[in-house]
Copies of this chain bind each other. A is one copy, B any other.
């Protein structure tokens, strides 16, 4: 009782129940009872996937750069990416809201609209939640998905000689973060930036501040057996490539082949950001797919790419692991600082 002072909790819970009601229909074959009891009840004849992730103010976003709608969207998008990273189908989610005093009911409603927008797009159903007071705004989501037959792609099944593929572009999340964080520095040191360049930077930020979970692509990779080992890039290419290799394997990654946005390169030049490849490789939060597969699948993968309208790039090869992971730039080894960061 003591935790909700000053919060119109009844109103918020009604909003959450509304979302539950709206989104229930997407998975009515497995939901037996949604919000409104001590637990939700579901039944699924398939195997289930579960993952949990949160986004927290001043860690994953700031209120200066993200609208509440975007924060809500992002909180669900990053969780959807975990289901994509197994080739699964997202189904259900629970929601924990941590609400500071300076976030009001309207703000929360906006965040909920963001969540419901993503839920509708990806057809996932909200089946539980709770609200707590806190010092900063945070959203914690647990996502539950499923998969049919044997169509799930775990990590650690790479074969030596496999090609390494990546979807979309990498580094856009880092550049967005950099531009936001360095805003004052840029204003101060680059006073001669032309208006169209400023606009270009603004556009870059707004285009890439939210990730796109690659649900469809991953599902097809799983169904067509086009990946031996799969993950999403959340901790950075360097870490995530290690995650999908077997213990005894290494990889060669060709830096020249990394799919980097042309505008990112342009802005990096404009702002004199040196060795941005390091950042691109180690920053993470791109939520693109990263997988390994036999060379013979390349043609089918490229077909998939054009059919789904998702860029796919071959960026390296799985090798015998005695030398670990090597990055090559113009054929020469490119040294990368190790990072101790690691998600669960």
Q: Which residues of A contact B (CB under 8 A)?
A: 1-4, 9-10, 13, 16, 32-33, 35-44, 46-54, 56, 59-60, 82-83, 85-86, 88, 92, 94-96, 98, 127-136, 138, 140, 142, 144-145, 152, 154-156, 177, 231-232, 235-236, 282-285, 339-344
- Whether the Cβ atoms of B2 and A177 lie closer than 8 Å is yes
Min Cβ gap A127→B in Å is: 6
9 smallest CB-CB distances across A and B, nearest first, come from A38-B85, A142-B142, A39-B49, A135-B135, A52-B94, A3-B59, A39-B51, A43-B47, A140-B140
Min Cβ gap A182→B in Å is: 13
Give Cα A342 to B1, complex, Å. 8
Contacts of A10 in B (CB 8 A): 340, 342
Question: Which residue on chain B has the smallest CB distance to residue A282?
Answer: B1
- Whether the Cβ atoms of A154 and B33 lie closer than 8 Å is yes
- Whether the Cβ atoms of B235 and A1 lie closer than 8 Å is yes
- Whether the Cβ atoms of B39 and A83 lie closer than 8 Å is yes
Give Cα A130 to B50, complex, Å. 12
Min Cβ gap A99→B in Å is: 10
Number of copies: 2
Please judge, given known A-B contacts A54-B140, A132-B59, whether A344 and B48 are in contact too, CB under 8 Å.
no
Give Cα A269 to B95, complex, Å. 42
- Contact partner of A136 (CB less than 8 A), chosen from B53, B135, B231, is B135
Question: Which residue on chain B has the smallest CB distance to residue A44?
Answer: B48
Question: Which residue on chain B has the smallest CB distance to residue A33?
Answer: B154
- Contact partner of A39 (CB less than 8 A), chosen from B1, B128, B145, is B145
- Whether the Cβ atoms of A50 and B92 lie closer than 8 Å is yes
- The main secondary structure of chain A at its interface with chain B is mixed
Jot down 14 A-B pairs with beta carbons below 8 A, ordered by A: A2-B59, A9-B341, A38-B83, A38-B155, A39-B51, A42-B50, A50-B92, A50-B127, A52-B128, A56-B98, A56-B133, A98-B98, A138-B138, A142-B142
Give Cα A42 to B152, complex, Å. 12
Min Cβ gap A28→B in Å is: 15
Question: Which residue on chain B has the smallest CB distance to residue A152?
Answer: B41
- Whether the Cβ atoms of B1 and A236 lie closer than 8 Å is yes
Contacts of A344 in B (CB 8 A): 13, 16, 35, 128-131
Give Cα A221 to B328, complex, Å. 65
Contacts of A36 in B (CB 8 A): 155
Give Cα A50 to B92, complex, Å. 10
Please judge, given known A-B contacts A56-B134, A154-B37, whether A9 and B50 are in contact too, CB under 8 Å.
no
Please judge, given known A-B contacts A1-B282, A344-B129, whether A40 and B32 are in contact too, CB under 8 Å.
no
- Whether the Cβ atoms of B48 and A42 lie closer than 8 Å is yes
Give Cα A32 to B10, complex, Å. 39
- Whether the Cβ atoms of A82 and B134 lie closer than 8 Å is no
Most chain B CB within a 10 A radius of its CB, from A37, A51, A98, A282: A37
- Whether the Cβ atoms of B39 and A85 lie closer than 8 Å is yes
- Whether the Cβ atoms of B342 and A50 lie closer than 8 Å is no
